[in-house]
Each structure stands twice: as structure tokens, then as C-alpha cells.
Structure 1
């Protein structure tokens, strides 16, 4: 169960994101967007999927292709907004051009994230992965990969040392995450976790869930349990993360 403080943080962010949308809808004057008649239309299906907020995987957006562009749905409120394509990877709300979506590709050319309002980064959940069920062997390999990563994460946090934390980041984080969140910002978050917990320990009574990428830890200072979530790409690198108390 989430603590009231954790739930409050989540709700506050969801409210602030929704408020930003409402302010745009209320105060941005309608303007006609110039559309080039010979503009090449990008295949809209490549943008479809679920996108989770960087560092807060509980908050998600669903993006779907529509007749003339894309439809964005806030999963926490079910609010839907339609967007038109402004350029290849850029979209604007149909009536309110201040509300923008800017998509980005990974090194392999797959859409892997979108930036809303030029500031909020949302990571696509498992881009390019099929819906097929994993085999027992695949699940075992994934479980071993998560065990290795979570143990390395525990060790890096408990050292509270910049070089050790940085080494963990370089070894296990995907370049897209390092680019979006910055190494300095991630190191600061790791040290903040150590200050708040006095160190962390994997809970041996709660096995790692390879399907959700979730592990349960306890703080050394107070013994309070919390969960960490890591999303891995096909190369086994972390592309997003989240924490729940």
C-alpha cells in the first residue's frame, strides 16, 4: 500500500499536468496552423503506445493514431486530447498550439519517448516488443537479469559514493535515460535516497517480479518497505524507473 505522502506526490503531479492542459485550453487563443499541402505524412502507428512519466511509472499516457493525427489519453483521468502533426516527430493540439508533443527515436530508429509541453518526458513502455507470452527460459533469463541489476543498485546506493553510483549508471542505464535525466540529476537522486534511508536492503521474503520489473527493499534506518521498478529494453538496459512506498 502506498503511503499518504507517496500518493500525495503522485496526485500532485497528475493535478499539475492536468492543470497545465486546462490553462492552455482556457487561455491560448485559437490560431490557424499553417499546413504545407505537400508535407510528407509520417506513419502514425509508430507513435502508438503507453508512455510512463520519467521517474514516476505510476503516471501514464496512452497515445493512439486518429483520423488526422494522434489522440492522447491521460490514464489517471481518462481525459482525451487530439493532436495534428506539425512536423515529422512534432505534434500540436488541434486548437491550442502551445500544447506540444515532441517524439524522439532511439539509436535503432524506434520511437522511445515523448516530451510534452517542452518539459515533461514520458518513456514508451517496451517499444517494439510483441505481445507474445515469454517462454519459461526467457522468464528465467529476465529474472536473473533483474536480480543482478537490483543487487548492483543496492550496492551502489549503500556506498553513497559518486564514482560507484556513476559506474552503476554507465553499466546498466540506457543512453536515452542518461540523456533525458542527466547523470548529475540521477546521482543526486541516488544520494538523496541514501540520506533518507540510511541504506537499503532487498527484502528476501518478497521475490523479484520479472514481469513488472519490481523489487521490494527496506530502509536500514527505519525498516520501511518500498518498491523499485525498472523497465528494461531488449538489450537489458534500464530505460525508466519508479518508486512506490
Structure 2
């Protein structure tokens, strides 16, 4: 038996409704002995478009760094500092040099900019805004974000507590970016939102702790056990949610 170097790290909260959980991948050696993949070579300059930091969809604290190196890409797991080399299979598709079961499939937005990557055909990683951690928010930007979050978090609470498909999907359609809905689907997100209600008995914003517009985080408590947790949303310039996270 041979284990993929891409280590398992489940999102460990029973409250979480993320669908993007990394699973440990254990494969027989026979599956690693596939015939050689057809490799596409592109100039290093073209590979620069894939570079950046990517956050796991549903856990913004779990991050990858992807860099163009020579005629391929290097992926660095920022939680372990492990590095894995990839070769290009097609324009937007890469395969690990030593682990052919480990694939990367990149996605472009309407403008042709890389905005996410799927690993192993199932785990979705969102490309972080390059400026998000490099520049301090201005007072105007902070105020704009705060205004957005003051609407989003109460609406999120209302949608979860309604425990009704129409209310949940109304929230999703209003506040989620199309790319996020496409990746996870309304149906699956609705099911997971209802599971959150079933396990918490409903949620309450903790009004003793203010919403943090710089991190996009708000504190909640479950109604049935008064368990505290923090929910965070990443917004794009249009004020739509592009990623989310939950931490107890």
C-alpha cells in the first residue's frame, strides 16, 4: 500500500456545513503503475497565471501555495511545508510527477483569470486575493465591508433558523457568488444548512462580540447547547461570498 503525500485534515467541527473535506487517499501500488501521462509543455511565463495562495473551500485557514518552477508547478502545503511537483497534462490540468492519482484542475472566471483549483477531482480550493494580506484596509474599505457583514450575518442566522428550503436558498442566491453556488450546488448547500439547524437547534449571533470586518468573522452560539463558534465569510469586490469557514 502507498499513501498519497497530500495528508488528510478533516474539518473537525460537527457544526460545519462545508462539503470540501480532504480525505486520506490510500491506493494500491498497482494504481500507481499507470501508463505514462501525455505531458503538455508551456513557457514558464504562461505558468505564472496559476501562482498564488489557495484556501480550502469551507476552511480558510487551510492553505496551499502554488508556484511556477521550470516547466511545471510546485505545490506547497502551508500546514506541513511539504512540496509536491506537478507536470502539465493540458492547458488547465496538471498531474503530480510521482503520484499520478494527484491531479490539479484549474478554473478560470469569465475574464480568463484563474480563480480556483480542484484537487483529486473533488477538493475545491479558492484562489485568495493577492492583495488581501499585503495591504491594510483603508477606513472607507473597512466601513464598506462592515456594512456588508452587518447584513450578511443576520441574514445567515435567519436562513439557518428558518430551516426551510425557500428561505435558505433565498439567502444563498442573494449573498453567494455564482462560482461558489456552481461548485457546491444549491441542493447540497441547502441540505447542509438544514443539518446545521438539526445539530444546533438554531444559532444566535453573540452580540457581546462585534463582527470583525477585517477578518470577515462573527461569533455565534448554538441554541440547544450554547456552544460557541465563529463563522467567517470572504467577500469579493461586489460583496458576494466566495468562501467561508467555521471554527469552534
Q: Same fold (TM over 0.5)?
A: yes
Q: CA deviation at 1:126?
A: 2.4
CA contact (8 A) 1:112 1:127 kept: no
Q: Which residue of 1 aligns with 2:7?
A: none
- Equivalences, count: 234
Q: Which runs of 5+ in 1 are unaligned?
A: none
Distance change >3 Å, CA 49–CA 182, structure 1 → 2: same
Q: What's the counterpart of residue 89 of structure 1?
A: 92
Cross-structure match for 2:13: 6
State the SS of the aligned residue for 2:141.
helix
Aligned to 2:216: 213
- For 1:86, what is the secondary structure of its paired residue? strand
**Contact (CA 8 Å) 1:41, 1:88: kept in 2 or not?**
no
Partner of residue 33, structure 2: 29
User: Which residue of structure 1 lines up, in the alignment, with residue 247 of structure 2?
Assistant: 244
Output the CA distance in 1 between the equivalents of 2:44 and 2:143: 42
Alpha-carbon distance between aligned partners in 1 of 2:45 and 2:121, rounded to the nearest angstrom: 21
What pairs up with 1:52-71 in 2 under 5 angstroms?
52-71=55-74
Over residues 71-127 of structure 1, what are the superposed CA-to-partner deviations in whole Å (9 max), with x where a residue is unaligned?
Answer: 111122211101111111111112333321000012232211101111111111226
Query: As a proportion of its length, which structure holds more helix?
Result: 1
Q: Given the superposition, is the C-alpha separation of residues 174 and 192 from structure 1 closer, same or farther in structure 2, using an over 3 Å criterion?
A: same
2:83 match: 80
Write out aligned runs for 1:219-234 (5 A). 219-234=222-237
CA contact (8 A) 2:44 2:68 kept: no
* Aligned-partner Cα distance in 1 for 2:214–2:84: 31
- Asked if structure 1 preserves the Cα contact closer than 8 Å seen for 2:55 and 2:63, the reply is yes
Judge conservation of contact 1:199–1:219 (CA < 8 Å) in 2. yes
Gaps of 5+ in 2: 1-10
Partners of 1:50 and 1:236 in 2: CA distance:
21
Query: How much is the aligned-residue C-alpha RMSD, in angstroms?
Result: 2.7
